[in-house]
Structure 1
Amino acid sequence: MSAGYLGAVRSEFTKVRTTRLWWVLLVIMAAYVGLCAGGMAGILGGLGGGANGPVIPDAQLPLLVYSFATSVGYVFPVLFGALAVTSEFRFQSLTPTFLANPRRGVVLGGKATTLLIVGALFGVVALIASIGLGASLLAAFGIDPLLGDPETWAFIGRSVLAMALWSAIGVGLGVLVPSQVAAIVIVLAFTQFVEPLLRLAASFTDWSAQVAQFLPGAASDSLVGASIYTAMSGASAGLDWWQGGLVLVAYAAIATLIGFLTSWRRDVS
């Protein structure tokens, strides 16, 4: 690795540490994910012993509860990744950055690397929240939380990877759409409304369901290997985990490349 690249990474970590945004989003995400996972564990764990039998088999329930870390928590790293870039355009902090390191590709590479690591941190915290509350409540209802199962740990690793890639997608979006307001609207509108509606509409026919596999949220669910969305909607398993990961990488790479060739190379004043 070149000294310029390592310097860019150190600079980006300094920018992250000296702002409050990262830990504010981290705290909100942990509370939100923990509440969702704990609530679902309590509801489905309580129904497990009912006269009508479990809504979801006990063997599948733990990973579905833990998957709230990614199925609802992914919006936070993608939002942070976008804001980490658009704030540079908004406050024109790119000007001194480019003066210190005129190799803009190196600067962008350092930012993408840094946000990948921060996204992984978001994934770790989200999993602590979902597993911490979810496993405790499942155990209270007599359901094995499967914390000693190798598949659970493989799921945890894939979840951290998914959150890191979502942060990289956020970076790509921020480079592609430098307007901070527009980036926030796009992230919230697409993740909370547009894609869920598209996935629901696509589930009615086989050909549209095949296309919907390549939507970013669906690809993320495939990478992780469990999702409360697919469990409740009855959607197909979708792509293999590695294929889902490649789709997320492609989204991040394409958005970043187009943004680099357009907005990132313009004069900043």
Structure 2
Amino acid sequence: MSAFIAGLRSELTKLLTTRMWWILAIVLFLYIALLSGGLGALFGAITTGKIESTGNTPHFGTLAPLIYSFATSVGYVFPLLLGALSSTGEFKHQTLTPTFLANPRRAQVLATKAVSSLGIGAVYGVVALIASVGAGAVALSAFGVDTTLGSGDTWALIGRAILAMALWAAIGVGVGAVIPSQVGSIITVLAFTQFVEPLLRLAASFSAATASIGKFLPGAASDGLVGASFFTISSPGSSTLDWWQGGLVLLGYAVVLTIIGHFVSWRRDVT
């Protein structure tokens, strides 16, 4: 147990002594604040009639959670990238050699990396939610739309969103272990999250048979865990998992990818 705790301290030190984690955190905050504030103002204006719209608009009772959920439905790529970089950085900078000399239990080293990433992912969740809830609530209140910040359901959603961001960071560690090339893992993460999965989710929503499969995609599982997502506006027919099911699916992705990464790259000889 003492070796595991020492490993956690070591992994946290590796992450926190680099500039990448806080640079990504700043970009995450600015991106989510701009998105949540801008769209919160837009939908607030539409729902209050300040801007006329011929299409369907979100109901007052669901608008605030949808705006707040931008923290995860859009921002999840940031902890995912950070987790992947924490694994691939070991190969790029060849820090695995001294790490394995200090602790030859390679599976334990990878496990400490995954567990420590949960904490950093949770921090990213807090950063993203400060941005989405802060900017979103200001924009909604400016148009007289209920921010629902007095509701326990909203705070439960916020707690689940932090958990989702933590799990995404752990998934990133697994991705980086499976694809040790830093460039390769970044391209894979961006291609899958920005293009492949959105198209798969859209295609899956066209029939009940495929929708039952599509809800197990990682992004869909994350939305199920959080309980709200902007994706439900563009694909109203899509089905989602219960929050606890979504959490288990995300955890399953993290565990499976980490185990695969252990056998694919972590057990290889390092120089």
Q: TM-score, normalised by structure 2?
A: 0.96
For residues 215 and 57 of structure 2, what CA distance do their matches in structure 1 show? 25
CA RMSD of aligned residues (A): 1.2
Give the structure 1 partner of residue 185 of structure 2.
Answer: 183
- Please identify, of 81-90 and 48-57, the stretch whose mean Cα deviation from structure 2 is larger: 48-57
Which amino acid in 1 is paired with 2:150? G
| CA offsets 1:51-93 (integer angstroms, 9 cap, x no match) | 6698111110000000000010000000000001001011110
| CA offsets 1:108-161 (integer angstroms, 9 cap, x no match) | 121111101000000000000000000011111111101110000100010000
For residues 143 and 237 of structure 1, what CA distance do their matches in structure 2 show? 27
Which amino acid in 1 is paired with 2:41? G
For residues 255 and 163 of structure 1, what CA distance do their matches in structure 2 show? 17
Give the structure 1 partner of residue 38 of structure 2.
Answer: 39
Shift of 1:245: 0.7
Give the structure 2 partner of residue 135 of structure 1.
Answer: 137
Question: What is the 5 A alignment of 1:117-132?
Answer: 117-132=119-134
For residues 221 and 14 of structure 1, what CA distance do their matches in structure 2 show? 31
| CA offsets 1:31-64 (integer angstroms, 9 cap, x no match) | 1111111111010000112166981111100000
SS in 1 for 2:60: coil
Question: What is the 5 A alignment of 1:1-269?
Answer: 2-50=1-49, 55-269=57-271
The number of residues matched between the two structures is 268
Shift of 1:235: 3.1
Alpha carbons of structure 1 residues 185 and 52: separation in structure 2 relative to 1, 3 Å: closer
Shift of 1:262: 2.3
In structure 2, list runs of 5 or more residues that go unmatched.
Answer: none
For residues 40 and 235 of structure 1, what CA distance do their matches in structure 2 show? 22
Shift of 1:236: 2.9
Which amino acid in 1 is paired with 2:47? G
In structure 1, list runs of 5 or more residues that go unmatched.
Answer: none
For residues 49 and 29 of structure 1, what CA distance do their matches in structure 2 show? 29
For residues 237 and 17 of structure 2, what CA distance do their matches in structure 1 show? 43
For residues 232 and 150 of structure 1, what CA distance do their matches in structure 2 show? 27
Asked whether the 8 Å contact 2:211–2:239 carries over to 1, the reply is no
Moved over 6 A (4+): 51-54
Q: TM-score, normalised by structure 1?
A: 0.97
